[in-house]
Amino acid sequence: MSKVTHAKLVIIGSGPAGCTAAIYAARAMLEPILIRGVQAGGQLTITTDVENYPGFAEVIQGPWLMEQMEAQARHVGTEIVNDIVTSADLSQRPFRLMTDSGQEWLAETLIICTGAQAKWLGLESEQKFQGFGVSACATCDGFFYRGKEVVVVGGGNTAVEEALFLTNFASKVTVIHRRSEFRAERILQERLFKHPKIEVRWNTELADITGSQMPPSVTGAVLRNTATGETETVAVDGIFVAIGHTPATAVFREKLDMKPGGYLKVKPGTTQTNIPGVYAAGDVTDDVFRQAVTAAGMGCMAALEAERFLAEENLAEAAE
Ligand code: NAP
């Protein structure tokens, strides 16, 4: 028989949003349970150098930062559980969560921080050079390409915005798109077409990435013309894949209101979903900023909102 545990607050996800929610909730004596999820530590565990998280004068490593956040959450009293939430019943309180291990959680409040995953092309070489010349975040990694040449893959708003942002650093940005027109907004397209550092290659896909092994670094992009099938290798230092993100919200489909693309909808200026007592923080609800520091900020907001909700309902002492 599965074990059932009743908690005042369950946090799902262990990225910056989840860990920050846990730190604030634990310090508010909510005795939070944090269920770590599929990719413990979130997207920062698959990046390398982090230079834009405040508080560190030196470059730090993404996995190290997440270890520190989790250690801090644990230190202040969070119970961290290595498990994956497989289904959720949010129709009544306490909310009921089932996990992969068979454990069942009853939660008076819930903070969902399950994040989003960048979509990748699925090339073996793309995986090999991830964090070493291949990135899905220009805001995070653009700075490392000062005076270098980069390729951006994609034709949506993200690809065009990332290409424009990368012109602040790179000497040349080549945008490759599999079709002959972008789906990005017109105004962004116009800015892109006018930019002297940007070249657009239509009907082109990334067939492969070349590079060296010791240390791992990208040296070229093998481009394939989708009309003729011809391939060509161009010398580049970095490749930014910007073909969209997928928020991890499958468990909450038809249970919580969502924005297009599956991101959880929250009331503006808060982390409240459409169900009282259920909050969403970080990339699972944010399709605009997608930064570790904004996710952490939202995690803090969610914990404070959960605390107020429990205090107002006078439930803080009810659960065991
Ligand atoms: P998106 O609009 O879904 O665009 C993805 C792009 O990647 C498309 O051009 C698509 O090509 C291409 N693509 C997808 N899979 C591919 C593959 N396997 N190989 C090659 N190319 C592939 O994604 P997004 O740009 O990340 O935007 C997501 C949402 O956020 C959109 O609603 C967007 O408007 C919004 N957003 C808004 C802003 C803003 O308002 N400033 C900024 C960023 C994002 P096809 O065109 O051929 O399908």
Query: Which residues on neighbouring strands pair with residue 222, listed in sequence order?
Result: 208, 233
**Pocket of ligand 1, candidates 183, 192, 201, 263: which has the most ligand atoms within 8 Å of its Cβ, to mutate?**
183
Does residue 191 carry a pLDDT above 60?
A: yes
Q: For 101-110, how does the pLDDT look when each residue is reduced to its tens digit (9 = 90+)? A: 999 999 999 9
Does residue 2 carry a pLDDT above 70?
A: no
Q: Whole-model pTM? A: 0.79
Query: Which residues on neighbouring strands pair with residue 87, listed in sequence order?
Result: 98
> Mutual orientation of helices 186-194 and 157-166 as an angle, nearest 10°?
30
Cis bond upstream, residue 196 (ω within 30): no
> In angstroms, what is the span from residue 157 Cα to ligand 1's centroid?
6
Shortest-distance Cα residue to atom 4 of ligand 1: 156
- Are 144 and 234 in contact by the 8 Å Cβ rule? The answer is no
C-alpha of 210 from chain center: 26
Shortest-distance Cα residue to atom 30 of ligand 1: 287
Tracing tokens 């951006």 back to the chain, one arrives at 152
Q: For 263-307, how does the pLDDT look when each residue is reduced to its tens digit (9 = 90+)? A: 999 999 999 999 999 999 999 999 989 899 999 999 999 999 999
Which atom of ligand 1 is least distant from the CA of 155? 9
pLDDT band at 313 (very low <50, low <70, confident <90, very high): confident
Residue 74 backbone dihedrals phi, psi, to 5 degrees: -65, -45
- How many helices (H) and strands (E) in the chain? 7, 19
Q: For 135-178, how does the pLDDT look when each residue is reduced to its tens digit (9 = 90+)? A: 998 988 999 999 999 999 999 988 999 999 999 999 999 999 99
Each residue of 167-185: b (16+ CB within 10 Å) or e? bebbebbbbbbeeeebebe
Task: Give the residue among 163, 188, 187 at the shortest CA–CA distance from 176.
Answer: 163
Query: Which residues on neighbouring strands pair with residue 275, listed in sequence order?
Result: none
Tell me what pLDDT residue 182 has. Answer: 98
Tell me what pLDDT residue 152 has. Answer: 98
- Are 213 and 222 in contact by the 8 Å Cβ rule? The answer is no
**What residues are annotated to the active site?**
137, 140-141
Q: For 13-65, how does the pLDDT look when each residue is reduced to its tens digit (9 = 90+)? A: 999 999 999 999 999 999 999 999 988 888 888 667 788 899 999 989 889 99
Cis bond upstream, residue 276 (ω within 30): no
